[in-house]
C-alpha cells in the first residue's frame, strides 16, 4: 500500500493517574476568554482540523466523536490500523476468553533516526519499557509502533522481553520493514503481572491491524488504546507553515507521573534534530504529564516517545515547542477529566512558591492527592480547613524553614484564607463555594466530556517564587468500584 503523505511522529506514553500541573499562563488566559457557548468556543482553526485550546461543550457522545474525528487528520506520511482479538490468561484461566486490542502505527516513508523518549521511573518497569530503553540507548531508527491494551507485560512469570520482541517481529514481517523488529517500538497497558498473549497478538490481532491500516485519522488509535477510559482523547495543532502535530493518549487510573501506565502518541511531520526533539519532549512532559495525578499511584508502563520523519521543513523551533506544549497539556487535562470515577477536576494555581517549579508541583500533587480534600470536593463540601491542612502538612515536612505568613487561599475566586486566618463569612459564602463545586461537577459514568470546568483553588505565598498549575481529580464511590473489579 502506498500513501501520498509522510509523517513524523511524536509519541507520548504516560501513566494512568491524574494530577496535572502546568507552568504556563496560555491555557488560563484562554479559559478566561472562552465563551460558555460551544459555537463561540469552537474557533474553527484550520477549517476545524485542529482541536481548540479549550474544548467546546458537547451535548452528546456523537458530537464529541465527530469533533475528534475531524481534528484527527494524520500528518503526512503516517498510517495506522487497529484490531480486536481474544486470549485466555494463563494466570486466571477461569475468567475465560478476554478481549484485547492492538494498534500499529507505521511511518510509511521509511525509518527515522529522529526520535526521543521519556520512560517511567518506577523501579518495576514493564518489559516494553526495557525494550524501548534498549532501542533508545543503541540508537536504533524506528519505523513502527505497536501498542496493546489489557495486559501490561510487567514482571510476568514468563519471558516478557521475548514476548514483546515476538510481537515486534510480527509487525516488521507484516509491514516488510527492512530494519526488522529493531525498528518497532512496543507499548503495553493493562493488568500487571500477567503474561503477554504474544501468540494471539502476533498471529491474529497484529495481522488484522495491519490489514486495517489507513492514513486518514488518528482517532482509531485513540479508541483502541483505551482500558478503563470512558472516552477517547485526541489533540491536534497545525503550525503556520503547515507542519502538523497530532496526539492521542489513554489513562484513567494509576496515574501520577513521573511517567506511568498512561500512553500517549503525538505525531508530527516536522524536520527536527534528535537531540532537540528530546529536549522539547522532556520540557513538554514536565509541564503536562508530570504535572497530573488522579490517584497518586505511579504506573509501571509510562512512556513518552517523539518520532519525526523530517518530511516537512520547520520554520520555527519555538512554534513546534509551543505546539507540543499545547497538545501535551491538553491531553493531560483530558486524562484527569476522564479519570476513573472522576466527578470533579481540581485546578490548583500556585503562585510565588518558595522553591523550584518541581517542588511547587510536588506540593500541588500533595494537595490534590489528599483523601480528605478529594472527598470534600466530591461532595461539593467547602471544607476549606482540609485544603489549608494539606498545604501546611507539605510545608512542615519539606520546607519547615519557609514562612507561610503571607500565604493566601482562594476557592472559586473568593479569598478563604489570608494572613494566617480563614475568611469565611456565613451561610451565603458557604453556599457560594458549594455552588462553585457543583457547577464543575461531571457525571461519573459519562462517556464524553460535557464541559471543561474546574474547581478552582488558588495558593499565593506572596513575595517571589515559582508559578505552576496542577490538576487533580476527586474521589468517588465509582473509583472504588472500578478498581475493585479491574481485571474482569
Question: Annotated active-site positions, please?
Answer: 261
Question: Among candidates 215, 225, 237, 206, which has minimal Cα distance to 108?
Answer: 215
Using alpha carbons only, how large is the chain's radius of gyration in Å?
22
Taking the C-alpha atoms of residue 181 and residue 154, their distance in angstroms, rounded to an integer, is: 20
Taking the C-alpha atoms of residue 222 and residue 231, their distance in angstroms, rounded to an integer, is: 9
Taking the C-alpha atoms of residue 175 and residue 462, their distance in angstroms, rounded to an integer, is: 58
Neighbouring residues of 438: CB distance < 8 A, sequence distance ≥ 6 = 380
404 alpha-carbon distance from chain centroid: 33
Which three cell numbers, joined as nine digits, stand for 215? Answer: 492514513
Amino acid at each position: 500500500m502506498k500513501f501520498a503523505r509522510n509523517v513524523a511522529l511524536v509519541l507520548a506514553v504516560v501513566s494512568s493517574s491524574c494530577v496535572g500541573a502546568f507552568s504556563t499562563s496560555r491555557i488560563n488566559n484562554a479559559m478566561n476568554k472562552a465563551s460558555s457557548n460551544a459555537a463561540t468556543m469552537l474557533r474553527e482553526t484550520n477549517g476545524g482540523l485542529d482541536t481548540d485550546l479549550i474544548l467546546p461543550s458537547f451535548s452528546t457522545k456523537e458530537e464529541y466523536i465527530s469533533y475528534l474525528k475531524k481534528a484527527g487528520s494524520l500528518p503526512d506520511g503516517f498510517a495506522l490500523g487497529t484490531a480486536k482479538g481474544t486470549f485466555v490468561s494463563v494466570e486466571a484461566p477461569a475468567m475465560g476468553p478476554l478481549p484485547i486490542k492492538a494498534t500499529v502505527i507505521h511511518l510509511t516513508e521509511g525509518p527515522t533516526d529522529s526520535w526521543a523518549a521519556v520512560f517511567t521511573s518506577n523501579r518495576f518497569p514493564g518489559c516494553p519499557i526495557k525494550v524501548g530503553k534498549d532501542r533508545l540507548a543503541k540508537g536504533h531508527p524506528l519505523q513502527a509502533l505497536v501498542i496493546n491494551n489489557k495486559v501490561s507485560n510487567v514482571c510476568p512469570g514468563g519471558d516478557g522481553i521475548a514476548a514483546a520482541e515476538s510481537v515486534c517481529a510480527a509487525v516488521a514481517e507484516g509491514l516488510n520493514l527492512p530494519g526488522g523488529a529493531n525498528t518497532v517500538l512496543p507499548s503495553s497497558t493493562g493488568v500487571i503481572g500477567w503474561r503477554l498473549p504474544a501468540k494471539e497478538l502476533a498471529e491474529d490481532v497484529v495481522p488484522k491491524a495491519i490489514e486495517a491500516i489507513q492514513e486518514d485519522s488518528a482517532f482509531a488509535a485513540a479508541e483502541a488504546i483505551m482500558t478503563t477510559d470512558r472516552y477517547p482523547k485526541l489533540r491536534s495543532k497545525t503550525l503556520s507553515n503547515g507542519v502538523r502535530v497530532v496526539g492521542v493518549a489513554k489513562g484513567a487510573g494509576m496515574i501520577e507521573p513521573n511517567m506511568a501506565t498512561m500512553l500517549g502518541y503525538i505525531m508530527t511531520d516536522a524536520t527536527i534534530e534528535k537531540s532537540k526533539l528530546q529536549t522539547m519532549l522532556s520540557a513538554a512532559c514536565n509541564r503536562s504529564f508530570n504535572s497530573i495525578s488522579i490517584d497518586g499511584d505511579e504506573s509501571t508502563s509510562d512512556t513518552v516517545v517523539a518520532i519525526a520523519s523530517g518530511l516537512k521543513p520547520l520554520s520555527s523551533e519555538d512554534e513546534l515547542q509551543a505546539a507540543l506544549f499545547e497538545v501535551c497539556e491538553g491531553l493531560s487535562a483530558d486524562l484527569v477529566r476522564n479519570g476513573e470515577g472522576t466527578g470533579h477536576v481540581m485546578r490548583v494555581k500556585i503562585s510565588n512558591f518558595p522553591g523550584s517549579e518541581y517542588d511547587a508541583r510536588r506540593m500541588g500533587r500533595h494537595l490534590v492527592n489528599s483523601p480528605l480534600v478529594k472527598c470534600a470536593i466530591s461532595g461539593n463540601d467547602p471544607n476549606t480547613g482540609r485544603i489549608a491542612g494539606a498545604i501546611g502538612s507539605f510545608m512542615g515536612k519539606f520546607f519547615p524553614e519557609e514562612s507561610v505568613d503571607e500565604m493566601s487561599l482562594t476557592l472559586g475566586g473568593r479569598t478563604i484564607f489570608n494572613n494566617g486566618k480563614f475568611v469565611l463569612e456565613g451561610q451565603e459564602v458557604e453556599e457560594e463555594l458549594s455552588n462553585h463545586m457543583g457547577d464543575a461537577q461531571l457525571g461519573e459514568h459519562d462517556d464524553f466530556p460535557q464541559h471543561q470546568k474546574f474547581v478552582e483553588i488558588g495558593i499565593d505565598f506572596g513575595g517571589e517564587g515559582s508559578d505552576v498549575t496542577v490538576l487533580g481529580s476527586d474521589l468517588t464511590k465509582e473509583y472504588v468500584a472500578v478498581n475493585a473489579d479491574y481485571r474482569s
